[in-house]
Amino acid sequence: MTTSPRTALITGASAGIGATFARHLAARDHQLLLVARRGDRLQELAAQLTEQHGVRCEVFAADLTDPAAPAAILDHADQQGLNIDILINNAGLSGKTAFADTPWEVLAREIQLMVTAQTELAHRVVPGMKERRWGRIVNLSSVAAFAPPAASLLYTGIKSYVLNTSQALDMELKPHGIHVTALCPGFTHTEFHDVMGTRDRADHLPGILWQQPDAVVAEGWAAVMKGKPVCVPGTVNKISAAAMKPLPIRLGYFVGKTLNPFKNS
């Protein structure tokens, strides 16, 4: 009996961890629907993956800060006859400027991208997964979710939301054959710090703190396959997460206020 290939929807697939997930899943015979704003990059990656692995790879250019984007992406999947079995909620970035100096529209887009769109995509794919009694959702959180809040960044709060709700959804959905995993990388070599404008400061951090996206995705996907609700990839990140989590609130506040190398001005 031949089984039809699973289909994975990956957001933020034009670079970094998302593009790495696309390569990893294509090599495992999954069909892909790749989403990001830079459609040219998605097309190029899709063509490569189809040529290398013979898998179907569709692309949909969308800006996930547009509240209409999640519905548009899933309408497109429907039109293409693709059932989403795997959702990799990966697109993300960190704000660059202090809260009070940042126009509300910019902050609202950050929240829309990493909180609302991510949550809406999950909500829209779950009914189909429930019907088929199989689904995997990976939400990109961060080791920052275990860290104290960092001065003037929404990022740690957003990634804490992702970590918390991923576990809550996993508890609800596991009986239906759907596993949800919060993947919590630490510093990973991608375009993240170029986009954030913190490349100089990032490059001064010790090499031991950094991972390649391939290592993050390989460990993350293995955790998904084992049905783990939380994955902190890499030994150094595991130690950091375990060490930071139990900090007393006052000490955590001090650390977050003084030791964040990416503190916005």
Ligand X SMILES: NC(=O)c1ccc[n+]([C@@H]2O[C@H](COP(=O)([O-])OP(=O)(O)OC[C@H]3O[C@@H](n4cnc5c(N)ncnc54)[C@H](OP(=O)(O)O)[C@@H]3O)[C@@H](O)[C@H]2O)c1
Catalytic residue among 130, 159, 228, 263: 159
Shortest separation between residue 209's beta carbon and ligand X, angstroms: 10
- Burial class of residue 208, CB neighbours in 10 A (0-12, 13-18, 19+): exposed
Instruction: Provide the minimum distance between the beta carbon of 39 and ligand X in the complex, in angstroms, as a whole number.
Output: 8
| Shortest spacing between CB 149 and ligand X, in angstroms | 16
Q: Which residues contact 170 (CB under 8 A, 6 or more apart)?
A: 179, 180, 181, 229
* Chain contacts with ligand X (rule: CB under 6 A): 11-18, 36-38, 63-65, 90-93, 113, 140, 142, 185, 187-188, 190-192, 195
Q: Which of 44, 23, 22 is nearest to 33 (CA)?
A: 22
Using the minimum distance from each CB to ligand X, give the nearer residue, 11 or 260: 11
**Closer of 3 and 18 to ligand X (Cβ):** 18
Q: Given the complex with ligand X, which of 161 and 187 has the nearer CB atom?
A: 187
Closest alpha carbon to 13 in 84, 66, 89, 74: 89
Q: What are phi and psi of 157, to 5 degrees?
A: -65, -40
Closest CB 167 distance from ligand X, rounded Å: 17
Helical pair 16-26 and 213-225, crossing angle rounded to 10 deg: 60
Tell me if 49 sits within 8 A of 22, measured CB to CB: yes
d(Cα 218, Cα 203) in Å, to the nearest integer?
24
Q: What is the DSSP string of 217-230?
A: HHHHHHHHHTT-SE
Is 159 one of the annotated active-site residues of the chain?
yes
Measured from the CB atom, the residue of 113 and 126 that comes closer to ligand X is 113
Active site residues: 155, 159
